[in-house]
A and B are shown apart, each in its own frame.
Chain A
Amino acid sequence: MAISEDVVVIGGGLAGSVGALSAARTGASVRLISHKESTLRHASGLIDVLGYPNGGEQPVVNPFDALDELPTGHPYSVVGASGVRDGLALFDEITGDLYVGGHTDRNALVPTQQGTVKPTARYPRSMAAGLASDDREMLLVGFESLSDFDAPLAADHLEAAGVPFESRGVTVRFPADLRADAKLTRFATALERARTVRALAETIEPHLDGAERVGVPALLGEDDAAAVRADLESRLGVSVFELPGGPPSLPGVRLADRLFEALDSAGVHVSTGVPVVGYEAEEDRITSVLVDRGSHAPHPYHAREFVLATGGLVGKGIDSDRNGVREPIFDCHVPHPEDRYDWFLDEAFGDHPFARFGVIPDDELRPVDNQGDPEFENLRAAGSVLGGANIAAEKSGSGISLATGTLAGRLTREAI
């Protein structure tokens, strides 16, 4: 009975973290429970708000101009433009100089390791010199043993996408003695030694050939990334930027670390390593969530208000098998066609119904049952566990997490 807070947030990703921070603003005691280390460690680190509202070919210039085009039931229609702004404002406050993009509502166009250009609202400062709207000549540098990133191919791909600058790619040997299958993190750690940065600059220098900026995969240091990049820039005499890519993702790790620091200094209690597997309720109020502790009977964590931020189908906040789709902790209503052959389309990249599966919120972000009534008085949902958005196609995942996490946190602290 002793473990008790005002608010329990379930899920340690972006939505859960900002939800907890938002709830803790006025001094409420908050516990964040995350099953594993944050999945942000796999994320690109880009904060997309809205890139492609209706699956179109061309990205929208200003996400705020396109919010009205979204289908009814979209999480943005619950929080509104002001909710999106509140979420971004909280994010800017938390991340400080780690991120840029807050000077404008318009999308920035960030080149990726695949040579695509991604519309995004906020991006790590380490990617700022790479923007596709900038017309400086670009050199992309890949490394022999890092087969995920093919610099010449990515450079060609960028040019084919019609960027307003010349782009070349070169593959070099990384100047440190790393095993052939070394992960990005080992490159990053190696670059935290000045001699590796010096050697890398010497390796890149002969290939510059007039390029005014140099892009490398996101591996320029882990804890001390700003200093590593500054050192490389001063040695090369040109701007250096990182390209976002898949897991393991150092920009994601850095963001997860920054969020954890913020949670810790806000006094949020963080429990990780244990999954929430159920709950106890009295009438229409949840009294505790139950946490699996190995072989034990699950342990209760008590609170007055709860936030569900467990992610979608990928994050496992929404579960499915061939019999149906469900929200596994509270069994909140997740509308879906009875016949599972209606969950998807035949075209691989079609607008699959499953992409929008999730819980349905009322206007206070409380998941509702099939009658439209709140499942519980004191449960709110945030992030990808919410249905109604095709986040992968829209490029809206982070924005939804920020906006709904911030609002859920605020409503929660107001309810206490």
Chain B
Amino acid sequence: MTKDSETDHDHTDHTTDRTDRVATAEATVPPSSERTTDLRPGADNCYKCTACDTSCPVAEVDDEFPGPKFQGPEQWRLKRSEDTDIDESITSCSNCMRCDSACPSGVPLSQMHNTARGEYVEGMSKLSREYVRNRILANYGRLARIGSRVPRLTNFVMSNRVTKWFNERLLGIASEREFPAFATQTFGEWYEERGGPQIESEDRRIAYFHGDYSNFNTPEVAKALVRVFEAFGYEVVVPEQRCSGTPMFANGMLEDARRAAEFNVDTLSALVEEGYDVVCSCTSCSMALRQEYPELFDFEGTEQVAAHTYEALEYLRLHEDLDGALSESEVDGEHPELAYHAPCHARNQGLHRQALELFRELDGVAIEDVGDSCSGISGTYGWKSEKYDYSMEIAEEMFEHMEDADGTTGLTECPTCAMQMEHGTGYEIDHPLEVIEKAVV
């Protein structure tokens, strides 16, 4: 060892405290226990490998979109040193979070995007068409509460050509899209009508976070969850709840998201206290509760709810022998060939292969993966007139693989991926829980 380095050594020893903190910030992946709302360590972790940019489905088709690396660490750094406004291109990020699963260095890209988008939207004119349209799309659940009171009338109006023309011209909502029909009976109404939980249990109890879509539009998915969990001996309670916030994050409506999240955390944390785990049937809902809430908010109980939130299949695989149950059952011919699309948000939770793994072992069902592309709709992204074409271009690969599949039934956990799959192919789209219901109930 040279004299120089020895001097350096002595010198640095005095500053161990400070440098140890830096060393932590540079650690591989910040474990969830070290998660922070401070974006500095994440920005510093970026070594500009561009894995995020090359995994971004929007950047692949929209040449105006600079990509996640700019939206995340680079923009964050620009903001630090000068008084720079958030670039408008942040509104083109669809919040699919593919960048998160691509980054080899633990940069919290989606958290940076959510934060930047919130800041950008704060500065937007509240009277602009884009703001009004985005607010409406982000708050779909509030409108659904009203619309579903008179489902037949709402369905008639929303599928009306005049309404579509009006939406396109006045609001910038793509007229090519069919508004999802409201069910004549919501899941909540059904659940109440059947008299709530059919099983009471001290050690097997879950609180079902169904989200708005399966409540108002696809109650058969929510009913399947209840029946499947009851078949495994679970008490299923359905607490009052608001939108998970996913479409609000994606549109930078952080105040709306905050209100919804606070309500949900308040209700769910009380149940977690009583020994209930929170279970979601939508992978974006589970993503919001367990990742986005703690990244963006700090209400009392946020971490506790996150720590007890699961996606439905994930929960049953961990706590029950779902694999065993399925490999011993069979489904009669109703589901000949399922074309499965894994939602991007399932990917980030390590869940994007579970339906394939489970159903490959299930007799009477054939399942085919339609590839690893994004479905392109990303919640509200594909509903915007100016994004519709990009949305369909992103989905092209998925549509092709679906067309190549033997059957005409699609399968996915995500309600908006399902909309896109149906929109592009005309297939009927099921949820994995509906298949499990047929096998084990």
- Sample 8 A-B pairs with CB under 8 A, ordered by A number: A2-B320, A3-B318, A36-B103, A179-B63, A269-B353, A272-B350, A295-B309, A339-B1
Q: Would you list the 4 A-B pairs with minimal beta carbon distance, nearest first?
A: A274-B350, A295-B306, A321-B23, A248-B54
Cα separation A58 to B28 with both chains bound (whole Å): 36
- Whole-angstrom distance from the CB of A220 to the nearest CB of chain B? 16
CB-based contact B1/A179 at 8 Å: no
Cα separation A347 to B321 with both chains bound (whole Å): 57
Besides A42-B49, A253-B54, A322-B19, 16 other A-B contacts (C-beta < 8 A): A2-B318, A2-B324, A36-B101, A247-B49, A248-B54, A270-B353, A271-B353, A273-B348, A273-B350, A294-B290, A294-B349, A296-B32, A316-B29, A322-B16, A341-B5, A341-B6
- Whole-angstrom distance from the CB of A3 to the nearest CB of chain B? 6
Cα separation A400 to B347 with both chains bound (whole Å): 30
Assuming A39-B104, A295-B32, A322-B19, is B324 touching A186 (CB within 8 A)?
no
Q: Let me know if A189 is at the binding interface, CB within 8 A.
A: yes
CB-based contact A2/B349 at 8 Å: no
Cα separation A316 to B306 with both chains bound (whole Å): 27
Q: Let me know if B55 is at the binding interface, CB within 8 A.
A: yes
Residue among B27, B50, B64 with the highest chain A CB neighbour number at 10 A = B50
CB-based contact A294/B63 at 8 Å: no
Cα separation A271 to B9 with both chains bound (whole Å): 43
Q: Let me know if A415 is at the binding interface, CB within 8 A.
A: no
Chain A residues contacting B6 (CB-CB under 8 Å) are: 341
Q: Let me know if A299 is at the binding interface, CB within 8 A.
A: yes
Q: Let me know if B410 is at the binding interface, CB within 8 A.
A: no
Binary CB contact string for chain A from 153 to 187 against chain B (1 if under 8 A, 0 otherwise): 00000000000000000000000011101111110
Within 8 A of A (CB), among B13-66: 16, 19-20, 23, 27-29, 31-32, 35, 49-51, 53-55, 59-60, 63-64, 66
Chain A residues contacting B352 (CB-CB under 8 Å) are: 272-273
Q: Let me know if B181 is at the binding interface, CB within 8 A.
A: no
Binary CB contact string for chain B from 327 to 349 against chain A (1 if under 8 A, 0 otherwise): 00000000000000000000111
CB-based contact B323/A3 at 8 Å: yes
Q: Let me know if B357 is at the binding interface, CB within 8 A.
A: yes
Q: Let me know if A297 is at the binding interface, CB within 8 A.
A: yes
Chain B residues contacting A4 (CB-CB under 8 Å) are: 323
Which residue on B lies nearest to A315, using beta carbons? B104
Partner of B322, one of A2, A41, A189: A2
CB-based contact A296/B307 at 8 Å: yes
Binary CB contact string for chain A from 24 to 36 against chain B (1 if under 8 A, 0 otherwise): 0000000000011
Cα separation A346 to B323 with both chains bound (whole Å): 56
State the B residues within 8 Å of A (CB): 1-2, 5-6, 9, 12, 16, 19-20, 23, 27-29, 31-32, 35, 49-51, 53-55, 59-60, 63-64, 66-67, 101-104, 290-291, 294, 303, 306-310, 314, 317-318, 320-324, 347-353, 357, 369
User: How many interface contacts (CB-CB < 8 Å) are there between A and B?
Assistant: 131
CB-based contact B101/A183 at 8 Å: no
State the A residues within 8 Å of B (CB): 1-4, 35-37, 39, 41-42, 177-179, 181-186, 189, 247-248, 253, 264, 269-275, 277, 291-297, 299, 316, 319, 321-322, 328, 339, 341-342, 346
CB-based contact A185/B318 at 8 Å: no
Chain A residues contacting B322 (CB-CB under 8 Å) are: 2
CB-based contact B51/A37 at 8 Å: yes
Assuming A321-B20, A322-B20, A341-B1, is B54 touching A185 (CB within 8 A)?
yes
CB-based contact B60/A41 at 8 Å: no
Which residue on B lies nearest to A342, using beta carbons? B1
Chain B residues contacting A274 (CB-CB under 8 Å) are: 349-350
Partner of A297, one of B1, B307, B351, B357: B307
Cα separation A264 to B310 with both chains bound (whole Å): 26
Cα separation A37 to B54 with both chains bound (whole Å): 12
Cα separation A295 to B308 with both chains bound (whole Å): 8
CB-based contact A319/B350 at 8 Å: no
CB-based contact B51/A2 at 8 Å: no
CB-based contact A41/B54 at 8 Å: yes
CB-based contact A248/B20 at 8 Å: no
Which residue on A lies nearest to B97, using beta carbons? A273
CB-based contact B51/A248 at 8 Å: yes
CB-based contact B303/A248 at 8 Å: no
Chain B residues contacting A292 (CB-CB under 8 Å) are: 29, 31-32
Chain A residues contacting B291 (CB-CB under 8 Å) are: 294
Chain A residues contacting B309 (CB-CB under 8 Å) are: 295
Which residue on A lies nearest to B311, using beta carbons? A293
Which residue on A lies nearest to B67, using beta carbons? A183
- Whole-angstrom distance from the CB of A175 to the nearest CB of chain B? 15
Which residue on B lies nearest to A184, using beta carbons? B54
- Whole-angstrom distance from the CB of B118 to the nearest CB of chain A? 21
Which residue on A lies nearest to B324, using beta carbons? A2
CB-based contact B9/A341 at 8 Å: yes
CB-based contact A272/B102 at 8 Å: no
CB-based contact A293/B350 at 8 Å: yes
Assuming A2-B317, A37-B51, A295-B306, is B350 touching A186 (CB within 8 A)?
no
Chain B residues contacting A346 (CB-CB under 8 Å) are: 2, 5
Partner of A295, one of B63, B66, B303, B318: B303
Cα separation A263 to B215 with both chains bound (whole Å): 38
Chain A residues contacting B63 (CB-CB under 8 Å) are: 177-179, 182, 186
Which residue on A lies nearest to B5, using beta carbons? A341
Chain B residues contacting A185 (CB-CB under 8 Å) are: 53-54, 60
Partner of A271, one of B103, B323, B350: B350
Cα separation A297 to B303 with both chains bound (whole Å): 12
Cα separation A35 to B30 with both chains bound (whole Å): 12
CB-based contact B350/A322 at 8 Å: no
Chain B residues contacting A39 (CB-CB under 8 Å) are: 104
Cα separation A378 to B53 with both chains bound (whole Å): 39
Cα separation A384 to B309 with both chains bound (whole Å): 36
Which residue on B lies nearest to A176, using beta carbons? B63
Chain A residues contacting B16 (CB-CB under 8 Å) are: 322
CB-based contact A293/B349 at 8 Å: yes
CB-based contact A272/B347 at 8 Å: yes
Which residue on A lies nearest to B306, using beta carbons? A295
CB-based contact A299/B53 at 8 Å: no
CB-based contact B64/A179 at 8 Å: yes
Chain B residues contacting A186 (CB-CB under 8 Å) are: 59-60, 63
CB-based contact B66/A181 at 8 Å: yes
Chain A residues contacting B320 (CB-CB under 8 Å) are: 2
Cα separation A39 to B101 with both chains bound (whole Å): 12
Cα separation A274 to B349 with both chains bound (whole Å): 7
CB-based contact A322/B23 at 8 Å: yes
- Whole-angstrom distance from the CB of B105 to the nearest CB of chain A? 9
Partner of B318, one of A36, A177, A299: A299
Cα separation A296 to B55 with both chains bound (whole Å): 27
